């Protein structure tokens, strides 16, 4: 299973980057693990949200094509989520966020999304160098340090090639 850790500050393009890569990987078995900072999920006035508000500790919603589970209380950790997806036979996993748990992602392809060069330098100093830097706004910047900046969405093929052809394998 190939793990791609997509991280960066809020509004830097993490979700958009994953969406573009999901489109490129159409037909492959792909999973996404998203770190949500807020408490709870917004499911408006659907029955599943009503059950949660009424106090259900676990809710499993099953449709003909999807199964959604909401577990309240102790959250499973990133390691458990990765193991679950691996057991399901997922080929690629995108992990969005989880900067604090980056040490669990040894062997993952690290993609840093940034708005500006200062943000890139701060995060590299904090978390170490990524395999790729992605930006939707720094069109004039070719590299930060010795790491090329991939300009999105125009250069999605460069990022996709890194993802597919890089030999790193996740060490779960």
Identify whether the C-beta of residue 110 lies closer than 8 Å to the C-beta of residue 166: no
Kindly provide the b/e burial profile for residues 132-160, where b requires at least 16 CB atoms within 10 angstroms of the residue's own CB: bbbbbebeebeebeeeebbbbeeebeebb
The CA distance from 171 to 158, in Å, is: 24
- Confidence at residue 44, expressed as pLDDT on a 0 to 100 scale: 58
The residue ranking higher by pLDDT, 151 or 50, is 151
Residues 99, 9: Cα–Cα separation, whole Å: 10
Sheet holding 109-114, edge to edge: 30-34, 92-96, 2-8, 109-114, 132-135, 147-151, 143-144
Contacts of 7 (CB under 8 A, 6+ apart): 14, 96, 97, 98, 99, 102, 110, 111, 112, 113, 123, 127
Q: What is the per-residue pLDDT for 16?
A: 94
pLDDT at 171: 43
CATH of domain 2-38+76-165: 3.40.50.300
CB 137 within 8 A of CB 115: yes
pLDDT at 45: 60
The whole model's pTM is what?
0.83
pLDDT in tens, 4-48: 999 999 999 999 999 999 988 888 999 999 887 666 555 556 777
Segments making up each domain of the chain, as ranges: 2-38+76-165
> Higher model confidence: residue 73 or residue 105?
105
Q: Residue 122 — very low, low, confident or very high, per pLDDT cuts 50/70/90?
A: very high
Residues 32-91 pLDDT 10s: 998 876 665 555 567 777 787 788 888 888 888 888 777 777 677 888 889 999 999 999
Q: What pLDDT sits at residue 170? A: 45
Supply the pLDDT for residue 163: 74
């Amino acid at each position: 299973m190939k793990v791609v850790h997509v991280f960066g500050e809020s509004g830097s393009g993490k979700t958009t980057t994953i969406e573009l890569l999901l489109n490129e990987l159409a037909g492959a078995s792909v999973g996404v693990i998203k770190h949500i900072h807020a408490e709870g999920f917004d499911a408006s006035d659907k029955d599943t949200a009503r059950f949660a508000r009424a106090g259900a500790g676990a809710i499993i919603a099953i449709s003909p094509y999807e199964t959604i589970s909401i577990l309240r209380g102790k959250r499973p950790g990133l390691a458990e989520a990765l193991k679950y997806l691996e057991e399901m036979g997922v080929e690629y996993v995108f992990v969005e966020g989880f900067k604090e748990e980056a040490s669990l992602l040894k062997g993952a392809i690290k993609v840093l999304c940034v708005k500006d060069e200062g943000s890139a330098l701060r995060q590299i100093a904090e978390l170490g160098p990524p395999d790729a830097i992605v930006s939707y706004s720094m069109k004039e910047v070719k590299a930060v340090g010795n790491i090329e900046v991939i300009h999105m969405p125009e250069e999605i093929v460069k990022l996709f090639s890194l993802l597919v052809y890089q030999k790193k394998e996740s060490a779960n």
